[in-house]
Amino acid sequence: MNSIESTDDRYVGPPFTRYAYIQEFWVECPKCARAARVIRKEREAIGDDKLLCHHCNYTELGEERIRYTASVRRACSNCGESIEVTIPNNKEKVAELKYSCPYCHAPEVYKPNNIPYRLKYCADRLVDPVFGLPLWFRENVKGDTLWANNKEHLLEIRNYVTAKLRERQTMRVTTMVEKLPQFIKAAKNRDAVLKAVGRLLKK
């Protein structure tokens, strides 16, 4: 998927939606704090996603950060009272859970529901969806934050901002550039945005 340059002040970029830019994320490496890449295999599945840093050679698989919350919600078979048990942060699925009713103290073995989730490095909004690492391409522009998931995403934003004539590329979907924040689209911010993009490309 190659970025198309603007010509004659007209934006002629591809009619991609924002989902075209979520297979790869440039992030801050948790070990050396330099640029690393998160590569996703599936958009929704918790699968073979991985983190790769070409500076310190740190690697991590998305599946290594998967945890399960085991939960039981049912009535006690002895006294009928409602039982709710939740045990988070299990590396493996819990097949059986031994628990005594807090009301009648009758012990019982339950088969819990196992809900998967990922441990994230941080809870910031501008992070990748797999590891929760800060995006590498992020820069302040007059109090707002310009950000991009990866280099291709950033270059396409630059192409769009550079163009003075911005025609809609397709009527079928809302493209990535059409969803850009207004501060990026504003003509008065063009120079500031392009300077920020330039700084990011030199990081």
This prediction's pTM:
0.80
Give the residue from 56, 28, 64 showing the smallest Cα distance to 147.
Answer: 28
The burial class, CB within 10 Å (0-12 / 13-18 / 19+), for 28 is buried
Q: Please give the structure tokens belonging to residue 198.
A: 């330039």
Q: So what's the pLDDT on residue 169?
A: 67
Per DSSP bridges, beta strands 113-118 and 66-75 are: antiparallel
- Which residues have a Cβ under 8 Å from the Cβ of 50 and sit 6 or more positions away? 38, 39, 59, 60, 61, 62
Q: So what's the pLDDT on residue 9?
A: 80
Q: Tell me the residue ranges of DSSP E strands in the chain.
A: 24-28, 35-39, 50-52, 59-61, 66-75, 82-90, 97-100, 107-110, 113-118, 137-141, 144-148
Domain assignments of the chain as residue spans, ordered by start:
1-24+137-203, 65-117
Q: Residue 29 pLDDT more than 50?
A: yes
Q: Residue 19 pLDDT more than 50?
A: yes
- Which residues have a Cβ under 8 Å from the Cβ of 57 and sit 6 or more positions away? none
Summarize pLDDT for 175-192 with one digit per residue, the tens. 999 999 999 999 999 999
Q: So what's the pLDDT on residue 182?
A: 96
Which residues are paired to 109 by β-bridges?
A: 98
d(CA 189, CA 121): 33
Q: Please give the structure tokens belonging to residue 90.
A: 């299990």
The structure tokens 């007059």 sit at 142
The structure tokens 């490095």 sit at 121
Q: Please give the structure tokens belonging to residue 61.
A: 């698989």
Summarize pLDDT for 143-170 with one digit per residue, the tens. 999 999 999 999 999 999 999 877 666 6
Q: So what's the pLDDT on residue 7?
A: 47
Query: Is the Cα dihedral 37, 158, 173, 138 positive or negative?
Result: positive
Q: Provide the CA 34 distance to its chain's centre, in angstroms.
A: 18
The burial class, CB within 10 Å (0-12 / 13-18 / 19+), for 177 is buried
Q: Residue 42 pLDDT more than 70?
A: no
